[in-house]
Every structure is written in C-alpha cells, then in structure tokens.
Amino acid sequence: SQTIHQWPATLVQPVGSPLSLECTVEGTSNPNLYWYRQAAGRGLQLLFYSVGIGQISSEVPQNLSASRPQDRQFILSSKKLLLSDSGFYLCAWSPGQGYNQPQHFGDGTRLSIL
C-alpha cells in the first residue's frame, strides 16, 4: 500500500533562518505531489504542485520554493523565513491529475517562526 512520510513533525525557527521540509511517498510511482499551507484556523492554500521530476508549478508568489529531485521526493525550502511563514505545512500525493483523483496527505509539519 502507499504511504507518505513528512518530517519534521514540528519545527521552531528564527526569522531569517533557512527552511527545508521533506516529503517522500512509498508504494507508487510517478505520483502528483503537492505542498499546502494552512494558517491557524484557516483553510488549505496550495503552494506548489509537481507532476514529475524537476517539474514544479507555483501557485502563490512568496519566499518559498519547491524541488523534486527524485520521483517520490518533494522538498519545500526557503532561504530566509518570515514571520508570516508560520503555519501547518502539508504534503499530499495523488495518483494522477489532482482534479479527478483523491489526494492523500502526510501528517504535516507545524512550523513556528520566532
């Protein structure tokens, strides 16, 4: 069966520090991968999605970037974190196009910026 791993579970970082969150999927090949952010008490905002290695689409301009160095690995990065980057970051995968396939989420990373 397919599983998705996301780490770390929680992270506290100072303003201006770099960020690297990692997500890996097991048990499937060529998944669509997504990064979402959820502010406290709010909905899910799509940040990036990827349909293949090296293929990244950005939905929201910000100081974050994403990379997909391997088929089942998705990384979210930042060179300098802002206070507004705080939130719950979720990685998800789907077996095909997002609009007609269910998305399955990792457990998320709770990021606090001090």
Interface residues with another protein (CB under 8 A) are: 32, 34, 36, 42-46, 49, 51, 57, 59, 90, 97-108
Nearer to another protein, 17 or 25 (CB): 25
**11-27 as b/e, with b when 16 or more CB fall inside 10 Å?**
bebeeeeebebbbbbee
Rounded least distance, CB 63 to another protein, Å: 22
**66-80 as b/e, with b when 16 or more CB fall inside 10 Å?**
bbbeebbebbbebee
Rounded least distance, CB 107 to another protein, Å: 6
Rounded least distance, CB 80 to another protein, Å: 27
